[in-house]
Structure formats: C-alpha cells, structure tokens
Chain A
Amino acid sequence: MKKLGIIVVLSIISFSTAMAQLVKVDQEVFGMDCAPCAYGLERGLKKMDGLQSVKVSLNDGKAYLKLAADNDLTLQKIQKEVKNNGFSARNAVVTLNGELVKKDNEWSISVNGETFKISSDTPDDILAKLKSGRIKLKGWVEDKEDDELNSKWNIRITEI
C-alpha cells in the first residue's frame, strides 16, 4: 500500500513536469526580407520535433509556432534556429503551461529547463491574481539582443 502511494505521488509529479511546456510562440524575426528567407526559416523550424504548425510572415517579420502536446521545445531552441538562418530573433509572445512558484518575493515559472521570471511591469491586476501552482499564461518576452542566447527570460504577463 505504501509502495502504491509512492507510485501515485511520483506519477503526479512526473505528469506535472511533463505538462510544463510551451504552447504557442509568436517569435519576432528581424532582417528577413525575401521569400527564400521565409522559406528557409519555415523549413528549419519544421525540422524541430514538437511542433504542431509553423507559419512565417515576411510582412509581420514573425514566425508563428503552435507546439504539439508533450513537446520539449524551448524558446532558446527556437531562437537558435532563427539565428542559424542568418536572422535576429527578438521579442516573442509566448503562451505556456507550468508550475508557478514564488521565491524571494519573485514569481517564476520553469518550462523544459528554461526559467521565465515574471516581470515587475506585469499589470498589477494580473500580479494580484497570481498564486503558486499550475498555470497557463500568455506574456511578452523581451529580447533586445540575441548575441547571447540563454535560458533565463523575463516575461510580462498579459493574460492568465
């Protein structure tokens, strides 16, 4: 009976971890000016495992990605692919599922090894609604420079 309890607890934890993932990413791409550029980027992104759909817009300068369930993609991997195509990956609008935690008076959420720290310029009404535990949120990830890709981001939540 004790073993069964442990298995149940471990299953819940692993299920919770597995569900922490990116759901949707609208990635801003600078420097992309031509149809073959968009074609190459779209093809490169499609090669990544864990995508449900990809659409690249030259006029918007964006790659719109919908991610499959149980994907292990990260924003860093997506931005790396953009960079490999010779462009600059900048800001992104991200929708994600994960476990919201509060530590040292700061909210953050971890997804596939990446940490999204909740930005202090998130609207107060949204900040007031935050509580520890599972959450699905949408937010703005600012990235002014892409020279150093990293796994820590600041996210300004726009929707929960």
Chain B
Amino acid sequence: MMALLKTYAQGHGPLYGLQTPTLAKGGVDFNAAAMSLATKDDQSFMLRYIWSYGVTEDLQLNITTPTMINRLSDSPRTRGNSNMPANGDIEASVWYRFFSNAFGVGKRFESTAILSVSTPTEDTRGGINVSNSIHGAISTGYASRTWYAWVGGGYQYYFEEADDQLGDLPYASLVIGYRPNIFMGDYPKPDWRVFVESLAEFPGASMNEGQISPIDQRGKKVMIGPSFLGLYGAWGISFGALFPVYQDVVQGPQERYRLSMNISYWL
C-alpha cells in the first residue's frame, strides 16, 4: 500500500499548492523534502528528492524520486502539488511558463502549465493494480515583495493495468502569501514569508477487474493550513501543515493532517 504526501519543490513558492515560478535559463535546483500524512489509524513518512533544470527562463524540466519510510496500509488518493506525485511514484515533468508580465519592481503576473508522467514503485495501491499515470495542471499567480497569490487546478489520469484502473484525480488549489515588513531586508539578508494554503481534491472511482470498485475509496476533501518559507542566498527552507476542513469519505481513512518540510538549494 502506498503512503502519500505532497509538497512542492520549486523552492520559492507555496508548499502544497500549485505555483508558477520557473528556473533561470541554465539554472539547476535540488530539493529534498520530508513529508508525512496522518489518518485516524496510521501515519506515513516519505523523503523525496527533485532535480530541476531550466532549459529556458520559461521552460523547466524536473525529475523526482521517493524514499518511502512508512507506507499507509489504506491510503487516501491525493496529489495537490505542482512538482511531486502524491504517492511513491517516480515522476518526470515539464513546466512551461506561457505568460509572464513583470510590470513593476518585484511585481509580476504569470501563468504556468505542467505536464508530467509518473511510474509507480509498487504493484498495487489500495488493492488496485497501479499503472503509469499522466498529470496536467495549470496555475496563475501574482507575486510582489509583499503579497502573493496563486490559483490553479490539475488532473491526474491513471492508465489501466491488468483490468484494474485507479480513479482519476481532479484537484484545485488556492494560496495567499504575505511577507511582513520586518522581513523586507534587502538581498542578501534572509527573506521570510508566510502562506495560507488550501487544497480541494475530488478523486474518481477506481475500477477493479473491469468493474467499478465495490470499495469506494473516493474522498472529497478540502484542506487548509499555514506554511512558511525562508530564503537566504542559494538556500530555501519551507515547512507547513494542512488540516481537513471538509471530508466526504465514504470508505477509507479519514485524514487528520499532512506535514511537510522542504529544503532547496540553487546550484
């Protein structure tokens, strides 16, 4: 069974929600993340690593691999972040920032599209044979020296595997960020900001032996929580949590919280 968690790994945006920034042309970024998801009965732990490379200032390639420490025996299906698969998948993704309007000092609007392919590191997930999947998302946002906001939505589709098929996963995220005046010190002083992140997930039904799975593990959820991001030179650290404010889980585990911490280094 899979554990699942999430975080983003770009390093200077939100922790859970979709975001827009891409690396500089020729830029390389490494992220290491520790993540946990707690249900009523169990708690998962996972480490995840992401390498990112900026082909151009608007086009970025990423590859991410997991180290599963503890998998949930009955894991909710989730994704909800821009750069990492929710489960123990290996994923390659391309980000394309198709719109950018820098209109002032520290201010810009931009929109980014994400396309990724994942391959699982396990054979079954929740009793369903798990296959490769594709994921697409789009997000748009505003950044300034004081305020940030991103809104986005995505969709993950799992291919059929031996008469089984995991249900698809539409999701959406909304993030508001703020940097207080006390953290307005100029570069190279440390730079801190706080986010309020929200995430809504609407997983579809899985197919088991060609039929809709009798065990309905769909669980519509809305989760909200804070995250914090600190940046200093080439380093970034972010940490945060999400808590469910709405759960419509027919069967399967009720979530209690998700924790995540991410360390970034820009090479």
Q: Do A and B associate with each other?
A: yes
Q: A residues near B, CB below 8 A? A: 28-42, 44, 56-61, 83-88
Closest 4 CB pairs of A and B: A31-B102, A61-B105, A88-B102, A31-B108
Query: What are the residues of chain B within 8 A of A61 when measuring CB–CB?
Result: 104-106
Assess A86 versus B187: contact at CB under 8 Å? Given A36-B12, A40-B266, A61-B105: no
Task: For B187, list chain A residues within 8 Å (CB).
Answer: 35, 38-39, 42, 56-58
How many whole Å from A42's CB to the nearest CB in chain B? 8
A33 touching B145, Cβ below 8 Å? yes
A-facing residues in B19-56 (Cβ within 8 Å): 21-27, 56
- CB 8 Å contact bits of B4-22 with A (1 = contact, 0 = none): 0000000110000000011
Q: Is the interface of A mostly helix, strand, loop or mixed?
A: mixed
Known: A33-B107, A33-B143, A58-B145. A87 touches B102 (CB 8 A): yes
Q: Assuming A36-B231, A39-B233, A40-B23, what are 4 further A-B pairs, CB within 8 angstroms?
A: A28-B105, A32-B106, A38-B187, A86-B24
The size bracket of the interface on B is: 35 or more
Contacts between the two chains (Cβ within 8 Å), count: 101
| Contact A35 B233, beta carbon cutoff 8 Å | yes
Which chain A residues lie closer than 8 Å to B58 at the CB level? 86
Residues of B in contact with A (beta carbons under 8 Å apart): 11-12, 21-27, 56-58, 97, 100, 102-108, 143-145, 148, 184, 186-191, 231-234, 236, 264, 266
Across the interface, do A30 and B102 meet the contact criterion of CB distance under 8 Å?
Answer: yes
Identity of the chain A residue whose Cβ is nearest the Cβ of B110 in the assembled complex: A31
Q: A30-B102, A86-B100 are in contact. Are A35 and B57 (CB under 8 A)?
A: no
Given A44-B24, A60-B105, A86-B100: A39 in contact with B143 (beta carbons within 8 A): no
Can you give 22 contacting A-B residue pairs, CB < 8 Å? A31-B106, A32-B102, A33-B107, A34-B12, A34-B231, A35-B190, A35-B191, A35-B233, A36-B12, A39-B188, A40-B24, A40-B27, A58-B106, A59-B105, A60-B105, A84-B24, A85-B24, A85-B25, A86-B22, A86-B23, A86-B97, A86-B100
